[in-house]
Structure 1
Amino acid sequence: MKADKTAMVRLLKTARGQMDGILKMMEEDRYCVDISNQILATESILRKVNKEIIRAHMQSCVREGLKQGDEDKIEELLSLFEKMNKG
């Protein structure tokens, strides 16, 4: 992986901690809006990590694949973007 692995791992650990917090909030019957805000914050971190991983993939794997004539890299990205837009 060509993305900044240390930064990505740190962000994912933060998201994992937020998920643990969300579970605890659910178990404690906390206010729905507070829970929803935490879910949105976690989603934001995951989107940021995914964006960075895709960026790094495009700059390395896709670029290299296209140089070698691997047109499947374009289809792979299009499929990924389609999945991202379904959510």
Structure 2
Amino acid sequence: MKHKDALRTLKNAKGQVEAVIKMVEDNRYCIDISKQILATIALLKKANVQVLNSHLETCVKSAIFSEDVEEVDRKIQELEEVISYLNKIV
């Protein structure tokens, strides 16, 4: 399964979010909460990179080897959309 690394990272992020919720409920120090939120964001970004790498190694590679030009164009279009979205949120 190509997504196993991303799944592991997402589960870590889920645990981190649960810990942050507990910190807020316990009225912990704001800076400590913020640092944990930033750590969670880093994990989510890492998971996204893992998913995109998997997409390149499986879906895109498969499209290229199929020699279906329309499918390759679709995969390129998808990646262009993700890159465009990433540039908007940065």
Q: TM-score range by the shorter chain?
A: 0.7 to 0.9
The Cα offsets for residues 3-62 of structure 1, whole Å up to 9 and x where unpaired, read as 4x1x32222111111101111111122111111110111111111111011011112211
Tell me how far apart the structure 2 counterparts of residues 37 and 48 of structure 1 sit (CA, whole Å). Answer: 17
Q: Name the TM-score, length of structure 2 as normaliser.
A: 0.82
**With CA pairs under 8 Å and 6+ residues apart, which has the higher RCO, 1 or 2?**
1
User: For structure 2, which runs of at least 5 residues remain unmatched after alignment?
Assistant: none
- Map 1:30-41 → 2, pairs under 5 A: 30-41=28-39
Tell me how far apart the structure 2 counterparts of residues 83 and 28 of structure 1 sit (CA, whole Å). Answer: 35
Tell me how far apart the structure 2 counterparts of residues 75 and 11 of structure 1 sit (CA, whole Å). Answer: 27
Question: Which amino acid is the alignment partner of residue 75 of structure 2?
Answer: K
Helix, strand or coil for the counterpart of 2:27? coil
Match of 2:7 among 9, 16, 21: 9
Q: Name the TM-score, length of structure 1 as normaliser.
A: 0.85
Q: How many residues align?
A: 85
Q: CA RMSD in A?
A: 1.5
Q: Report % sequence identity.
A: 41
Question: Which amino acid is the alignment partner of residue 7 of structure 2?
Answer: V
